[in-house]
Amino acid sequence: MDKMRPSMWQYTPNNSPLPLPKQPFICGDSNLYPLEFSPDSTAALTFNELNKSLALAEVDGEGLNEFLIARAAPTLADRLPILLLGELANPFQLSRLKLGLIPVINVRLQNLCRTYADSLDSRMIRPGIHHITLARSEGWWELTHLAFATLPQIKKMIEWLNNRQHGDWRPVKPNEGTLLIENNSLLPPPPFESLNWDGNNETCSAEEPPPSGPQLDITKVIVPIHTKHGCYDNRGRLIRCVHVGQREFHANYFRRGSSKRWQDILRIV
C-alpha cells in the first residue's frame, strides 16, 4: 500500500465492504498512510505492552506516537481497541466520517466469524447494504481489522451505524473467542467444505495455520453488535462473509430466513 487519498480507495456499495486493506494503515480525513507493524513474537501481549510496541511502528518515516503528536492527534494511551468488521474497515468509508487519524492493524479471529446482521441500511444504495457483526463459530478463523480510536471517535462510529439516531447498534466487549495479531495478510479462511452441520451445531474441521503474532485479550476489545436482529439465521446455520458476498447474500438469502438473537450468538463481558 502507498500513501494515497482515502477517496481513491476502491469502494462500491454493491460489493460492500470490499476491497479491504491487506496491511496495517492509518486512516485520516484526507490521507491514507501505510503502517509498518509486524511483531515477530507469538507470546501473549497486554494492551499496555501492545501500545508500547505499536508506538514505535513506522509511518511516513517516523514512529507512530511521534506521527500522532506532530499532527495534534491523541496518542495510543488515549485510545481504545475496536474491531472494524465491515464498512468501517474500508478507508473510503472510514475517512468520510471525518474522525481524524485512526491506526488500524490486521488481526486473526479464532472461534468467531464475521456474519451479516439481519438488517438493511438504505442510505448509500437501494435497496441497501447489510452491515457485518460477530458470532461464535467453533474451530473457525479469519482475518479482520483492529482499530485504535478515542471514545468520541468510537461514539461517532456507532452513531453512523445507527444513522445518527438512537438505534439498535451498540458497543460491547466479547467474552469468548480469541484474538491474535496477524502478520500474514494472505491468511486464507477455512473452505466452505470444512464446515460440518449436525442439525443443531455447526463446526469447522479444517486445520488452522500456526499463529504468526501475539495473542491479545479479546475481553478488552470493543465490537458493535445489532441488538434487535442479531445476525441472519440460515436455518440454524451462519452465513460467513468470506464465503458469501454482499450481493449474493441479498439476492439469495436475505428475507428467506429469520434472525438469531444477539444473546444467542455472542457472550459479552
- At 205-259, the pLDDT tens digits run 999 999 999 999 999 999 999 998 899 999 999 999 999 998 899 889 887 778 8
Domain assignment of residue 253, yes or no = yes
The reported pLDDT for the residue numbered 126 is 78
Give the model confidence (pLDDT) of 44-101 as tens digits.
999 999 999 999 999 989 999 999 999 999 999 999 999 999 999 999 999 999 999 9
Domain extent at residue 99: 42-265
Domain assignment of residue 255, yes or no = yes
The CATH number of residue 221's host domain is 3.10.490.10
Domain assignment of residue 30, yes or no = no
Give the model confidence (pLDDT) of 115-154 as tens digits.
998 888 878 777 878 899 999 999 999 999 999 999 999 9
Give the global pTM.
Answer: 0.95
Domain assignment of residue 23, yes or no = no
The reported pLDDT for the residue numbered 129 is 85
Domain assignment of residue 144, yes or no = yes
Domain assignment of residue 29, yes or no = no
Strands 102-116, 132-149: parallel, antiparallel or unpaired by DSSP?
antiparallel
Domain assignment of residue 4, yes or no = no
**Rounded distance, CA 230 to CA 225, Å?**
7
CA diameter of the chain = 56
The predicted model gives 102-108 an average pLDDT of 98
- Report the number of distinct structural domains present in the chain: 1
The reported pLDDT for the residue numbered 160 is 94
The reported pLDDT for the residue numbered 268 is 98
What's the pLDDT band for 262 if we cut at 50, 70, 90? very high
Domain assignment of residue 2, yes or no = no
Residue 124 burial by Cβ neighbours in a 10 Å radius (0-12, 13-18, 19+): middle
